[in-house]
Amino acid sequence: MAGWRDHWRAVVASDVSTRDGLGWEFSSQRLDLDSWAVFREDGGSFPVFSAQRWSSDLPKPRDLRAMTEEAVADLLAAAGLPDHVGWLTRNIAAGLMMASLDIESWEGEEWALESDDDEQATAWATPADRRTPFDWLRARTSQGQAQITTYQDDGVFGLNFIPLQDCRLPALPEGERRPRQDLPLATGRISHVEIVYDTTVDGGAGPGLVTEALLRSKDRSTLLIAAEAYSGNEWCLYDESIVALTDPASADALDWLPERTRWQPATANGYNSQT
């Protein structure tokens, strides 16, 4: 059976002048054009994986997934981060694959900020809160859909890009949750995605936790964080919901429990190839 190497070339890539890390750069053998890159940034407190598309001439989804998973597996191993089962590799790769999408709209099920003793919502997030918690999110695209939930690693929760089943959007609010459609998150051509693999988190069995994802389109960026709102003033990291921020920079100014470790998103630039 033909594999992705029959049509695509891969080289090790880095740009030591602007970035501290290592990556894979993919180009078409037919057109000799850079098409896709997967990078591991090591300049902060933990690795940040990124994917970037440089042209619309992307590999077929099956090949792109295989390429991305192979790159992520290699970059994890090179950093001494074991993934014996392979699920973390597939999860990080699935998140990075969102950089290949053209998103038409977002929907999801929103969690209330506060509720009464009967578990009925009494307060929902407003724009002034600058962050909104969701049980799950789904991006609808011309290529299908991409769904995001959370996964549990012992006592902590991270972002899950490969859920086992489709989530159902209810017609009406149910207790502490309500359906949301046409969410103001990044739409259009997603060209760059960054995935935080936080190796400093305590309470998990694995070497790290997928804690944040930054999606960039031409006109808008969205930051997703694995966290939960215990109230309008208490937001806990590594918990079982997805907090969406339409202004990613605001995450650094907001209060989190425990204190959130800041990281510097990479600029969407190229890499200097090395064989």
* Domain assignments of the chain as residue spans, ordered by start: 1-100, 102-261
0.85 exceeded by pTM: yes
What's the pLDDT score for residue 260? 97
Query: Bigger pLDDT: 272 or 105?
Result: 105
pLDDT digits (tens, 9 = 90+) for 92-139: 999 999 999 999 999 999 999 998 888 898 999 999 999 999 999 999
Res. 12 pLDDT band, cuts 50 70 90: confident
- Cross-strand bridge partners of residue 167: none
Average pLDDT, the chain: 90
Query: Bigger pLDDT: 33 or 139?
Result: 139
What's the pLDDT score for residue 2? 58
**Cα distance between residue 263 and residue 57, in whole Å:** 31
Residue 85, pLDDT above cutoff 60:
yes
